[in-house]
Amino acid sequence: MSAIRIALKDIRQRLRDRSFYLWGIAAPLGLAAIFSLLFGNLAAGAFDFTFAVADEDRGPQSRVFVEQVLEPLDEAGVFSVREVASAGAAETQAEKGEVDAAFLIPAGFSAAATSGGQAELRVVANVDRPIAGQAGRAIAGQFAAGINAVGTALRTYFALDPHEPTQEEVAALAQAAQAQPELLTLTETAAGSKELSAKTYFAAGMAILFIFLTVQFGVLGLLEERQNGTMGRLLAAPISRRSIVAGKALTSFILGLVSMVVLVVGSSLLLGAEWGNPLGVAILVLAAVIAAMGVMFVVAALARTPEQAGNLQAVIAFVLAMLGGSFFPIAQAGGLLERVSLITPHAWFLRSLGDLATGGGPGAVFPAAIYIALFGLVTGGLAQLRIGKVLAP
Amino acid sequence: MERRPVLEARGLRKAFKDLVAVKDVSFSIAEGETYGLLGPNGAGKTTTISMAIGLLERDAGEVLVDGREIRTTSTTAKAAIGYVPQDIAIYPDLTARENLTFFGSLYGMTGKALGERVDEVLETIGLKERAKDRSGEFSGGMKRRLNIGIGLLHRPRLLMLDEPTVGVDPQSRNAILESVERLSAAGMAVLYTTHYMEEAERLCDRVAIIDQGEIKAEGTRAELVSLVGERDKVRLAASGQLAAALPVLRVVAGVEEATVGEESIELLVAGADRALAPILAAAAGAGISVHSVDVDEPNLEAVFLHLTGKALRE
């Protein structure tokens, strides 16, 4: 009961000095809006490419590339493709920036490809559109790999039985080869569909960043009570020391939870963020608050003054947020960064929200929620070993 | 009939690394008694009071309040104690009423009883009109009064005040001293630490002289003064044949010593109130003119000087 009284007193103080409104609600909502506007627009326009293709060959292989590779991508809305009459015109359009990149298919391309000769498929990109150039080269490279594979197979066949092949023989061999099941198939994972929208991603990223700042209002109260001299009064009162710590933890928990709920609802209504299954989100939010409290207790146990603790907590909150991908999906860098990222509760929080965004139910978040909560319980538990030093007049 | 002790402290000891802050301190306080710990800054007063209220774990010794042991982990036993810390300990974001209500609730007070008691204390400390104002906006004196009010709120059996008048203006100081006198008269046991000799003399039924963590002497004012001898110093500002008057003055009853000073005669007298008239008569008989008389009674300052060899404010 004493813990509840202490928590109510603390919450009243925080609401009265308005710090909670700033750090718990206004700042994360504002930053999420700015980030989603900034990166959302960039992301939306990042792959909006236009390619030109100049088919001077007009043979069967070049038409396969144009009609069966490029046109389906155009129809799927991945990018736009326009056919131009000549390689020169396509190159000029790429140079002028009228298209992002151009595919140039010279005359004789099909003949060279089917006879084992040197077929050439060129990609010309505008210098200011390097990503478009890379995308174009990737598409052309994929096609060239297929052609090369066929060529290799044919050369192998005729090396075993040396004679001059006829067009019909080559076609029949190709047809027979195509009828065989593929030795290696590439299965598309659902990773693309698990990505959060920019608005949801940044709203969630800011939410978990600021939760690590908001919870300080409760736990840091331990140090403030010492600084104000009121810790002596609390210790002199007929209440247990545990109830003082519990009161501060409860304050953090309530403020953290309120802040997160406001952010989830606010970002949904104001920014159009889509968080997914509410129960799943609630489980993740609870776990995130516990994790933040655990870290905050460590800070309170290590720091000597509220100012020192506030600075330390800010540093920890921003480092964890950066590593965890609150500002950008750092795990995509792969390697060590990806592994380090997965230490943070932030990375698990954001990943698990992705599962919810693809229609996952509450059960989908359990592994992440358990890790996040354990992160808080372990750090908070370790902090309890030293928290006694804070409980002094 | 001997009054029942409310607080009993026996053999308290506390060291901070190599520094022994309190050494074998023992005292007791009875119902309605005001007990003073008088000593300079750093004498060990706050460490003693902190152990007595269970803020600080002691290295040795025992503290009982109403027969219940006080430790840092005690809960119910602490309910009998009201604590007024040396520094102002209030929440500046909360109003005077909210401060009192919060601390009252920690002592188990609730509902109407709590509200009425808060009103009563606000009246007592003169903050009824400012009850709804944030305490951060109060003057230093008002904050001090609120600081004391919080300690009184739950009607403790024992009130511990740790130098409550440090940095307080004379008017507020007097108000605080009057409050303590009233509480003591109402039967509350009071432990009062101070380095002001005047406060100890005015308030305390018994005083412990504490220095370097040790109680040097303890007793009523009269008992302590007797340690340095109950001789008053009488100074006669006079003119005439002063040296010639000394033999006449030395034979007056109560006069133990007489010396000539600068245009004055200084006498050490046992009971100046009784001896003063014969002294003035003897001086007139010796032919000297007395212009003024000063009488200095021995006080706790003198006792402290006698016991420690230094002044209280050194």
Q: Please tell me the distance from the alpha carbon of residue A136 to that of residue A47, in angstroms, as a whole number.
A: 11
Q: What is the mean pLDDT of residues B230-255?
A: 87
Residues B126 and B212 in one domain: yes
Query: Under an 8 A CB cutoff, do A236 and B88 touch?
Result: no
Residues B48 and B173 in one domain: yes
Q: What angle do CA B67, B71, B77 make, to 5 degrees?
A: 45
DSSP run (H or E) holding B278: helix B272-285
pLDDT the model gives residue A145: 78
Query: Under an 8 A CB cutoff, do B54 and A235 touch?
Result: yes
Structure token digits, residue B20: 């022994």
Task: Give the β-pairing of B264-270 and B289-296.
Answer: unpaired
pLDDT the model gives residue A333: 63
How near does any CA of chain B get to the CA of A358, in Å?
A: 46
Contact B223, B67 (CB under 8 A): no
Residues of B with CB below 8 A from A234's CB? 106
Residue A257 CA neighbour count, 13 Å, CB half: 12
Query: Under an 8 A CB cutoff, do A238 and B77 touch?
Result: yes
Q: What is the pLDDT of residues A309-337, one digit of tens each?
A: 888 888 888 888 888 887 777 666 667 77
Residues B33 and B81 in one domain: yes
Query: Under an 8 A CB cutoff, do B91 and A230 touch?
Result: yes
Residues B38 and B183 in one domain: yes
Q: Is A388 on the interface with B (CB under 8 A)?
A: no
- Domain presence at residue B311: no
- Domain presence at residue B144: yes
How near does any CA of chain A get to the CA of B291, in Å?
A: 54
Contact B288, B246 (CB under 8 A): no
Q: What is the mean pLDDT of residues B48-72?
A: 91
Q: Is A2 on the interface with B (CB under 8 A)?
A: yes
Share of chain B above pLDDT 70, in %: 98
- Domain presence at residue B57: yes
Chain B nearest-CA residue for A242: B73
Residues of B with CB below 8 A from A393's CB? 50, 55-56, 85
Residues B110 and B208 in one domain: yes
- Domain presence at residue B305: no
The model carries a pTM of: 0.69
- Domain presence at residue B115: yes
Residues 224-283 of A with CB under 8 A from B: 228-230, 232-241
Residues B263 and B242 in one domain: yes
Contact B7, B28 (CB under 8 A): yes
Residues B195 and B259 in one domain: no
Task: Give the β-pairing of B60-65 and B255-261.
Answer: unpaired
Query: Under an 8 A CB cutoff, do A238 and B87 touch?
Result: no
pLDDT the model gives residue A190: 39
pLDDT the model gives residue A35: 65
Residues B164 and B239 in one domain: no
- Domain presence at residue B306: no
How near does any CA of chain B get to the CA of A354, in Å?
A: 42
Cite the residue boundaries of each domain of chain A with CATH code 3.40.1710.
Answer: 49-179
DSSP run (H or E) holding B138: none
Q: Please tell me the distance from the alpha carbon of residue A28 to that of residue A24, in angstroms, as a whole number.
A: 7
CATH, range A49-179 = 3.40.1710
Give the ranges where B91-185 is alpha helix by DSSP (H): 96-106, 111-124, 140-152, 170-185
- Domain presence at residue B22: yes
Give the ranges where A2-102 is alpha helix by DSSP (H): 2-16, 19-20, 27-46, 60-63, 71-75, 87-96
Q: What is the pLDDT of residues B150-186, one digit of tens each?
A: 998 998 999 999 988 887 788 888 888 888 888 888 8
Residues of A with CB below 8 A from B108's CB? 238
Q: Per the structure, how many domains does chain B have?
A: 2
Q: How many CB atoms lie within 10 A of CB B254?
A: 19
Q: Please tell me the distance from the alpha carbon of residue B300 to that of residue B314, in angstroms, as a whole number.
A: 15
Q: Please tell me the distance from the alpha carbon of residue A17 to that of residue A163, in angstroms, as a whole number.
A: 91
- Domain presence at residue B270: yes
pLDDT the model gives residue A185: 46
pLDDT the model gives residue A41: 53
**Which site among A1, A4, A5, A9 would you substitute to test the B interface, given the most B Cβ atoms closer than 10 Å to its Cβ?**
A9
Residues 144-203 of A with CB under 8 A from B: none
Residues B131 and B207 in one domain: yes
Give CA torsion, residues A284, A289, A294, A295, to 10 deg: 100
Query: Under an 8 A CB cutoff, do A12 and B98 touch?
Result: yes
Q: Please tell me the distance from the alpha carbon of residue B112 to that of residue B13, in angstroms, as a whole number.
A: 43
The sign of the torsion formed by the CA atoms of B164, B169, B171, B172 equals negative
Domain that holds residue B46: 5-226
List of chain A residues with pLDDT < 70: 32, 35-48, 115-117, 150, 165, 167, 170-171, 174-175, 177-196, 330-334
Reference B39, options B262, B206, B193; nearest CA is B193
Q: pLDDT averaged over chain B?
A: 88
Confidence of residue B74 (pLDDT cuts 50, 70, 90): confident
- List, in sequence order, every beta strand (DSSP E) within chain A: 50-55, 80-84, 101-105, 122-125
* Residue B102 pLDDT exceeds 60: yes
Residues B213 and B247 in one domain: no
Contact B103, A5 (CB under 8 A): no
Least CB–CB distance from A232: residue in B76, B89, B94: B89
pLDDT the model gives residue B260: 87
CATH of the domain at B259: 3.30.70.100
pLDDT the model gives residue B1: 54
Residues B214 and B235 in one domain: no
How far is the CA of B253 from the CAs of A58, A140, A187, A372, B290, in angstroms?
Answer: 143, 128, 121, 90, 19
Query: Under an 8 A CB cutoff, do B105 and A5 touch?
Result: yes
Structure token digits, residue A277: 């299954």
CATH of the domain at B214: 3.40.50.300
Is this complex scored with an ipTM above 0.85? no
pLDDT the model gives residue B29: 93
Reference A33, options A153, A199, A177; nearest CA is A199
Residues B124 and B180 in one domain: yes
Strand partners for B84: B161
How near does any CA of chain A get to the CA of B162, in Å?
A: 12
Q: What is the C-alpha radius of gyration for chain A, rounded to an integer number of angstroms? A: 30
